[in-house]
A and B are shown apart, each in its own frame.
Chain A
Amino acid sequence: MKSISLYSDNGTWLCRVHPFTKVMYAVAAISVPLILGSLWAFAAAIIADLALLASGKVLRRARALIVFSFTIIATIFIVRSLFGQEGSEIMFSIGPVNVYREGFMIALRTGLNILSMLLAFAVLVLTTNPQDLSTEMERHGFSPRFSYVISSVFNIIPQMMGTMSTISDAQRSRGMETEGSLITRMKAFIPLITPVVTSSLITTRERAMALDARGFGAKIKRTYPETREKHRGDTAATVILALIVVLSILIKAALWLS
């Protein structure tokens, strides 16, 4: 079954780190440069992300994740730095095209921020089993309903994708065209989506009954078949990361006051 989750256990240490530690890392790696606002902080965060991805042996898979953002970043550069407001400073010109300093700096900052966010999330996403994350959240006080929603999304979507091709076959068998003009393609949307929606909602109704029949929603504290092995240094890493966030807030505050 094809999963929509990007996680796969490649046996490296990063996969064994507690999901919460990685969440804390992503929070820190994204928020610290935003708080400090310096380009150097962005660069440092991106380097840290890349180092972690490399040591977790997922750098290659991370590349696929960020490639699509390049067009967005390029758009931002073109739109912001080439179409400056009147009176803004021209940084340099390429032939007839003027590049404005203010717009360029905004685009640079936005671009770095996008990269930093994507890479920080890549560290979390590529090495964490979503099921693991939701189970841990549930154990630490989140509602079981909440973690049910998370885990089931990952199981339900591949199922729905499986029915997609069957539905497409069934409708084409009844003479429906899925290629051609925009109007033809638009008309095909309803016959394709409606069976998925209706049958998944009907499934939903039966599944809801089946969950009730297995005690879901009972007002009893849930138990777990296995306990999670603690990874060395989880607590320490989380504390240090939190301290870095606090420290950066303090630095920013100090700079701001002075």
Chain B
Amino acid sequence: MSAKDVFRTRFDAASIVLIPACIGINYIGKLFASVLKLPLWLDSIGTCIGACLGGPVIGGICGAANNLIYGLTTGDSITLVYALTSLFIGFFVGIMARTGFMKSFPRALVTACVAGAVAIVISTPLNIIFWAGTTGNVWGDAAFAATQAMGMPLVLSSLVDEIIVDIPDKIITLIIVFVILKALPEKLTALYDASDKVERL
């Protein structure tokens, strides 16, 4: 698959309408996780689905728009800061999906690791700049405190904190996305990956 195919993006109504739906799915995922009292966020399911269906650009837009809209309208400015992380998660998951890394379960796990790595690389500096290195998650911050007490440099402690918080979440998220994508009907997926050409009968 050429680079052009990987980044090919349509901005027709079908793709535009996909964005709010995916933002909604993010929100519902988070809500169900809290209703079921799961120790995970699961708030990027929609972004990943958008990325798998619409490609890296739509995925990136879903991610960034998600955090910007919530941040700017619900006053949750903490979310706002992570717009950058969401953007890159959507973008990279989109690339992985377009290059066939959502086709089988083991491959989806590779995508999950990529998503986790992206989250860590982008979020750690943000944590250090905005929240003095912490993540706001109890387990992660406990590790942060412990490693700080051991005399580890701030960047490393923050990294450990972020790994504990994000890796399990991203792995579970992409497993869920993989299962959901399997259940999606062809009628729907055909809309996003069918060729642009109309065949003449």
A contacts, CB < 8 Å to B: 4-7, 65, 69, 71-72, 75-76, 78-80, 82-83, 85-86, 106-107, 110, 113-114, 117-118, 121-122, 124-126, 130, 133, 145, 148-150, 152-154, 156-157, 160-161, 164, 168, 178, 182, 185-186, 188-190, 192-194, 196-198, 200-205, 207-209, 211-212, 216-217
30 A-B residue pairings within 8 Å (CB atoms): A65-B75, A71-B136, A75-B134, A82-B145, A86-B151, A117-B77, A118-B75, A121-B71, A121-B75, A124-B75, A125-B75, A145-B11, A150-B69, A153-B20, A160-B25, A161-B28, A161-B31, A189-B32, A189-B36, A189-B176, A193-B25, A193-B29, A197-B46, A200-B24, A201-B49, A204-B14, A204-B17, A205-B191, A208-B16, A217-B12
Contact A153 B69 (CB under 8 A): yes
Question: For B27, what are the chain A residues with a Cβ–Cβ distance below 8 Å?
Answer: 4, 157, 160
Which partner residue on chain A sits nearest B188 by CB separation? A201
Contact B20 A156 (CB under 8 A): yes
Contact B188 A202 (CB under 8 A): yes
CB within 8 Å for A211 and B72 given contacts A76-B132, A201-B21 = no
Contact B37 A148 (CB under 8 A): no
The 8 A-B pairs at the shortest CB distance, nearest first, are namely A208-B13, A83-B148, A125-B75, A152-B20, A185-B36, A117-B77, A208-B14, A110-B132
Contact A110 B141 (CB under 8 A): no
**Residue from A145, A193, A209 in contact with B32 in the complex, judged by beta carbons closer than 8 Å:** A193
Contact A164 B32 (CB under 8 A): yes
**Residue from B16, B130, B183 in contact with A145 in the complex, judged by beta carbons closer than 8 Å:** B16
Query: In the bound complex, how far is the Cα of B24 from the Cα of A160, in angstroms?
Result: 7
Q: B161-186 toward A: CB 8 Å interface, digit per residue (1/0)?
A: 00000000000000010011001110
Contact B180 A194 (CB under 8 A): yes
B contacts, CB < 8 Å to A: 11-14, 16-21, 23-25, 27-29, 31-33, 35-39, 42, 45-46, 49, 65, 69, 71-75, 77-78, 80, 130-134, 136, 141, 144-145, 148-149, 151, 176, 179-180, 183-185, 187-188, 191
Query: In the bound complex, how far is the Cα of B18 from the Cα of A208, in angstroms?
Result: 9
Question: For A164, what are the chain B residues with a Cβ–Cβ distance below 8 Å?
Answer: 28, 31-32
Question: For A188, what are the chain B residues with a Cβ–Cβ distance below 8 Å?
Answer: 36
Contact A189 B77 (CB under 8 A): no
In angstroms, how far is the closest chain B Cβ from the Cβ of A191? 10
In angstroms, how far is the closest chain B Cβ from the Cβ of A190? 6
Contact A72 B136 (CB under 8 A): yes
CB within 8 Å for A193 and B180 given contacts A6-B75, A145-B11 = yes
Question: For B28, what are the chain A residues with a Cβ–Cβ distance below 8 Å?
Answer: 157, 160-161, 164, 193, 196
Contact B73 A5 (CB under 8 A): yes
Query: In the bound complex, how far is the Cα of B75 from the Cα of A121, in angstroms?
Result: 5
**Residue from A83, A113, A122 in contact with B145 in the complex, judged by beta carbons closer than 8 Å:** A83
List 14 extra interface pairs beyond A75-B134, A189-B38, CB under 8 A: A85-B148, A114-B77, A121-B71, A125-B74, A156-B21, A157-B23, A157-B28, A161-B31, A182-B39, A189-B32, A190-B179, A193-B45, A201-B21, A201-B184
**Residue from A149, A182, A198, A200 in contact with B16 in the complex, judged by beta carbons closer than 8 Å:** A149
Contact B16 A197 (CB under 8 A): no
In angstroms, how far is the closest chain B Cβ from the Cβ of A207? 5
CB within 8 Å for A198 and B77 given contacts A72-B131, A189-B33, A217-B12 = no
In angstroms, how far is the closest chain A Cβ from the Cβ of B101? 20
In angstroms, how far is the closest chain B Cβ from the Cβ of A209? 8
CB within 8 Å for A204 and B18 given contacts A125-B73, A185-B36, A193-B180 = yes
Question: For B16, what are the chain A residues with a Cβ–Cβ distance below 8 Å?
Answer: 145, 148-149, 208
